[in-house]
Amino acid sequence: MNVKISQMTVYPVAGRDSMLLNLSGAHGPFFTRNIVLLTTNTDQVGVGEVPGGTAITEILNQSKDLVVGSTLGEYKQVLQKMKRQFGYLDAGGRGQQTFDQRTTIHAITGVETAFLDLIGQYFHVPVAQLLGDGQQRESVGVLGYLFYIGDSQKTDLPYLTDDDQSDDWGKLRRQPATTAEDIVKLAQAAYNRYGFKTFKLKGGVFDGETEVQTMKALHQAFPKAKLDLDPNGGWSLKDALHYADELKDVLHYIENPCGAEDGFSGREILSEFQQRTHMPTATNMVDTDWRQMAHALELHAVSIPLADPHFWTMAGSVRVAQLCDAFGLNWGIHSNNHFDISLAMAVNAAAAAPGKIFDIDTHWIWQDGQYLTKNPYEIHDGAVAVPKTNEGLGIEVNLNAIKEANRLYVENQLGARDDAATMQYLIPGWQFDPKRPAMVRK
């Protein structure tokens, strides 16, 4: 029987978040995603998750005619058609904030993933075996992604405060954390629950020197852990060189320490930074498509490309991994707030990435407990297992949970992320400035 897509359903959904601080401001009480469900004429269901926002929802809805009626084997042709029809929407590139998105590439990833999930189920293999040269590992290292946290009591927004009292992590993740001591406590609580071997701190919040001291405190508390600090390009090159010197015995790698300035592109500035410091440098900001990647490689601007499947596609993300393996670079994955479907996507991409990869980013620890599937992947000892016995993504969607998350989205009239609006509760009139940490305002 020729297996065909008989139905495509798109659910814009929302989940709950903490008041996480970053260069763009503060996370609101909700984060949003788009969920794609493909159902076949044999009643199999494939699923994909991509960032939220109506622009992506609309492209997905407008793609239904291209998807429904196609066979599983035709999925690459379907993705090509989506690119041909909607690709022009991505022509302007992306803005300065990390969550400024292209749109079509995300919609394509949502459909691609749901197809891969179905094809994996059909052939009884995990998605990782369908990507690149096939599955390379059964366990993927993930990092503990730490954030400073704002005081949500200073807002009238519906942040959760006591959704998980089961351990210190569950409690602390909803409370303010603004000092080095608070961050070390968060790290300890996350370590106790998840066993991380790598920690990343989202910087670009306080002045660089304060964040340097936080990293030193983390290093003292976890001398064996690999550490990364990511101010999202918020420092000048001059400051970045100074902080890198202070952190040379503390960091395993650094992420977007600086970005475009004085008429030079972010890739040029990162290249100067790497040449002068020899510090391994990751980025999710200046090599986000092949054209940028070509320039980044030519300039030696990056040593750890963070190839998030959500904006590279699943196949594209693994293609970047193959390139990294061949060129002697280290590969990793960038993340944003996400549900358990995206966790499965990232882990399958990483399981197919050849060579020595870095522990991948995931925001999952901030969302753990909010499941859209009946059998979410789990983090143990700083890693997630992707058994070779998995079929497709190896997760079963919970349609009731998806509909509930859709209700949350609709009732709260949500759309794309806006961290500036939330930040204005902490600093009235606050505006985004790509060169100034969020809490540093006159």
Q: Which residue has the tokens 């008989």?
A: 6
- Burial profile 223-257: b = 16 or more Cβ within 10 angstroms, e = fewer: eebbbbbbbbbbbbbebbbebbeebeebbbbbbbb
Quick one: what does residue 99 bind among Mg ion, ligand GKR, none, with the CB cut-off 5 to 8 Å set by partner type?
ligand GKR
Distance from C-alpha of 142 to C-alpha of 49, rounded to nearest angstrom: 19
Distance from C-alpha of 144 to C-alpha of 195, rounded to nearest angstrom: 9
Strand partners, 200: 145, 228
Smallest gap from Cβ 215 to ligand GKR, in A, equals: 16
Query: Does 103 interact with Mg ion (rule: CB under 5 A)?
Result: no
Strand partners, 145: 200
Q: Which is nearer to ligand GKR, 230 or 287 (CB)?
A: 230
DSSP assignment letter at 360: B
- Cα–Cα separations (whole angstroms), residue 389 to 347, 393, 424: 15, 11, 49
Do 439 and 21 form a contact (C-beta atoms < 8 A)?
yes
3-class state of residue 39 by DSSP:
strand
3-class state of residue 49 by DSSP:
strand
Query: Does 20 interact with ligand GKR (rule: CB under 6 A)?
Result: yes
Quick one: what does residue 11 bind among Mg ion, ligand GKR, none, with the CB cut-off 5 to 8 Å set by partner type?
none
DSSP states along 229-286: EE-TT-B-HHHHHHHHHHTTTT-SEEE--B--BTTB-HHHHHHHHHHHH---EEESSS
Q: Which is nearer to ligand GKR, 243 or 366 (CB)?
A: 366
Residues making up the chain, counted from first to last? 442
Smallest gap from Cβ 44 to ligand GKR, in A, equals: 33
Q: Which is nearer to ligand GKR, 86 or 147 (CB)?
A: 147
Token digits of residue 75 = 């999925």
> Would residue 300 show up in a list of annotated catalytic residues for this protein?
no
Strand partners, 201: 146, 229
Q: Which is nearer to Mg ion, 112 or 230 (CB)?
A: 230
Smallest gap from Cβ 334 to ligand GKR, in A, equals: 5
Token digits of residue 382 = 């700083």
Q: Which is nearer to Mg ion, 90 or 230 (CB)?
A: 230
> Would residue 202 show up in a list of annotated catalytic residues for this protein?
yes
Q: How many residues bind ligand GKR (CB under 6 A)?
A: 11
Quick one: what does residue 390 bind among Mg ion, ligand GKR, none, with the CB cut-off 5 to 8 Å set by partner type?
none
Q: Which is nearer to ligand GKR, 121 or 288 (CB)?
A: 288
Quick one: what does residue 336 bind among ligand GKR, Mg ion, none, with the CB cut-off 5 to 8 Å set by partner type?
ligand GKR
CB under 5 A: which stretch of 104-112, 184-192, 213-221, 247-255 binds Mg ion?
247-255
Question: For residues 187-246, which are near Mg ion according to CB under 5 A?
Answer: 230
Smallest gap from Cβ 125 to ligand GKR, in A, equals: 30
CB under 6 A: which stretch of 43-51, 115-123, 312-320, 333-341 binds ligand GKR?
333-341
Distance from C-alpha of 286 to C-alpha of 296, rounded to nearest angstrom: 7
Query: Does 232 interact with ligand GKR (rule: CB under 6 A)?
Result: yes
Question: For residues 70-99, which are near ligand GKR according to CB under 6 A?
Answer: 98-99
Site map 140..159 versus Mg ion, x via CB under 5 A: --------------------
Neighbours of 76 (CB within 10 A): 11
Query: Does 368 interact with Mg ion (rule: CB under 5 A)?
Result: no
CA-only gyration radius of the chain, Å: 21
- Non-local (6+) Cβ contacts of 111 within 8 A are 8, 36, 38, 48, 60, 63, 67, 75, 78, 79, 82
Catalytic residue among 106, 202, 310, 338: 202
CB under 5 A: which stretch of 134-142, 209-217, 248-256, 263-271 binds Mg ion?
248-256
Using the Cα atoms of residue 294, residue 296, residue 302 and residue 308 in order, give the sign of their dihedral: negative
Quick one: what does residue 348 bind among ligand GKR, Mg ion, none, with the CB cut-off 5 to 8 Å set by partner type?
none
Question: For residues 413-432, which are near Mg ion according to CB under 5 A?
Answer: none
Query: Does 287 interact with Mg ion (rule: CB under 5 A)?
Result: no
Quick one: what does residue 202 bind among ligand GKR, Mg ion, none, with the CB cut-off 5 to 8 Å set by partner type?
ligand GKR
Out of 18, 303, 336, 422, which residue is the one contacting ligand GKR (CB under 6 A)?
336
Instruction: Using CB positions, name the residue nearest to ligand GKR.
Output: 98
Query: Does 198 interact with ligand GKR (rule: CB under 6 A)?
Result: no
Quick one: what does residue 335 bind among Mg ion, ligand GKR, none, with the CB cut-off 5 to 8 Å set by partner type?
ligand GKR
Token digits of residue 190 = 């996350």
Distance from C-alpha of 173 to C-alpha of 149, rounded to nearest angstrom: 8
Catalytic residue among 27, 334, 338, 363: 334
| Residues marked as catalytic | 202, 334
Applying CB under 5 A, the residues found at the interface with Mg ion are 230, 255, 284
Residues that bind ligand GKR (CB under 6 A): 20, 22, 98-99, 202, 230, 232, 284, 334-336
